[in-house]
Amino acid sequence: MLTLDNWTRVRRDFPCTDARVFLNTGTLGPVATPVMERYLSSIRQWNAMGPGSPDVYLGWRSRVETARATLATAFGCHPESLSLFGNVTDAINVVLVGLRLPQDARIVTTDEEHGALVGPLTQLAQRGITVDVVPFGQGGPELVARLAAAMDQAPTTLLALSHMSCETGAVFDAGALAGEAHRRGALVMLDGAQTPGQMPLALDAWGIDFYPFNGHKWMGAPAGSGGLYLAPVAADRVAITYTGDSAGSSGGDPADGRRFEYGTRNWPAWVAWGDVVAYRASLPGDPDARQRELAALLRGALAEVPGVAVRSPEPAGGIVTVSVDGLAGDRVYQQLLAAGVVGRRVLRPHLDGVRFSVAYFNNEDDVARARAAVAEVAARR
C-alpha cells in the first residue's frame, strides 16, 4: 500500500496545489481546508442565528479575545499590545496618521517598500515631513549599518520600513535595529506583512515600537486578518484618529490595543486566525523550516539556469526572486503564468524580475516545475 509522507498529506489541505504551481503566498496565502471548514461553518452558524442578536455578536467578540490571546502568545507579547484590523495597511495608517509628529520630523525608509507604506509616507511628505530613502539591499547587518549612518546624518524621528523585503525576502535583526534607533532617540515601525508564518516573531523582546502585521499571507488566515503591535512604552505616542462605538470599551487606555478597534468587523475571520495557530502547531514538522528548505532548493536550482540571476539572499523564509537577462520581469511573469506557474512580478528601478513564494505546502515537484518553466523562458529569449 502506498503511504504518503507527512508533508504530502498536509498538501492535501491546500486544493490550490492541484491546479497550478502556486508560488504566490507572499501576495495572499490559501487557508488550509480544516481551518476553512471551521470558518465557513461558523459564518453559516452566525448567519443562521441572526448576527444582530446580542448574545450572538457578543459571543463572537469574546471569541476574538481568545484569538487575540493566542496570537499574542505566538508573537511573544501581551494581548493588550495587539489591535486587530483588516490588513497591514490599516495598521500602518493608524500609526502614521496618529503619531504626533513635529513639523521638522524626519522619517527614514527604504527603496523596497510596499505601497501600503509608500502611500502614507507620501501624504506625510506632502505635508512637509522629510522622508529619506536608503537602499534595502540584501538586508542583514549592512542594512542596519546604513540606517544607523542615515540617523547620524540628521536627527531622525522614525524609521519606517519592512522587516522582510517583499521583493527579495531579505531580512535583518529587528532587535539590533531597535537598539541603534533608540540610542539615537528615534522610534521604529517595521512593516511585518511578510514575516508572520515565515519566521518566529518575538515582539516584546525585539523592542520595536510599532509592528503592523497580517495573517492572510504566510500564516494562512482568511483575508481581512491584520493587526498592530504597539510596544507598551510607545503606545501613548499614537493618538486615536478614527474612532467610534466599541473602541470606548477599552476606556481609551493607551496600554490597551482595543482602543483602535471600532464598529462592526468580520469577527469570524479573526477567530479563524486564532485557529490557524493550532493548525500550524499540528503540522508534522516546523513549517518555517520546511519552506526555507524548499526555497533554498529552488534558489540553488535557478542559480544554475543560464541567463538567470538570483536576486535574493540565502532564504530566511520562502521568498526567492530572480531576473532573466534581457527580459522584463513582467514578460517573465506572464510567460510563467501561461505555463501554469504563479509568481509575482517585481518592478523596481534596481530590480526587474519575478518573485516566487515557496510555502510549506509546496513540494519538490513544484520546485522542479518552476525551475523547468524558468529555464524554458530563459532559453526562448
Ligand X SMILES: Cc1ncc(COP(=O)(O)O)c(C=O)c1O
Chain residues in the site for ligand X (CB under 6 A): 27, 87-89, 114, 116, 162, 166, 191, 193-194, 214, 226
Cβ 313 to ligand X shortest distance, Å: 16
User: Quick one: CA dihedral 81, 84, 88, 94, positive or negative?
Assistant: negative
**Cβ distance to ligand X smaller for residue 17 or 87:** 87
**Cβ distance to ligand X smaller for residue 28 or 303:** 28
Residue given cell 488566515 in the structure block? 221
Residues 6+ apart with CB under 8 A from 95: 189, 210, 212, 228, 238
Does residue 71 contact residue 83 with C-beta atoms inside 8 Å?
A: no
Cβ 5 to ligand X shortest distance, Å: 31
**Cβ distance to ligand X smaller for residue 181 or 219:** 219
Of 367, 317, 273, 4, the residue nearest 162 (C-alpha): 317
Cβ 88 to ligand X shortest distance, Å: 4
Residues 6+ apart with CB under 8 A from 259: 83, 240, 243, 247, 250, 251, 252, 253
Dig out the grid coordinates for 370 from the structure. 518552476
Residue 3: φ, ψ to 5°: -105, 140
Cβ 156 to ligand X shortest distance, Å: 21
**Cβ distance to ligand X smaller for residue 147 or 375:** 147
Cβ 103 to ligand X shortest distance, Å: 27
**Cβ distance to ligand X smaller for residue 56 or 131:** 131
Does residue 260 contact residue 230 with C-beta atoms inside 8 Å?
A: no
Of 362, 367, 372, the residue nearest 17 (C-alpha): 362
DSSP string covering 289-351: HHHHHHHHHHHHHHHTSTTEEE-S-S-SSSEEEEEETTB-HHHHHHHHHHTTEE-EEEEETTE
**Cβ distance to ligand X smaller for residue 169 or 254:** 169
In single-letter form, the type of residue at position 113 comes to E
Distance separating alpha carbons of residues 322 and 340, to the nearest angstrom: 18
Of 315, 367, 320, the residue nearest 341 (C-alpha): 367
Cβ 104 to ligand X shortest distance, Å: 27
**Cβ distance to ligand X smaller for residue 116 or 230:** 116
Does residue 357 contact residue 23 with C-beta atoms inside 8 Å?
A: yes
**Cβ distance to ligand X smaller for residue 191 or 293:** 191
| 226-230/82-85 β-pairing | antiparallel
Cβ 190 to ligand X shortest distance, Å: 10
Cβ 86 to ligand X shortest distance, Å: 8
Cβ 117 to ligand X shortest distance, Å: 6
**Cβ distance to ligand X smaller for residue 13 or 191:** 191
Directed axis angle between helix 33-48 and helix 267-281, to 10°?
150
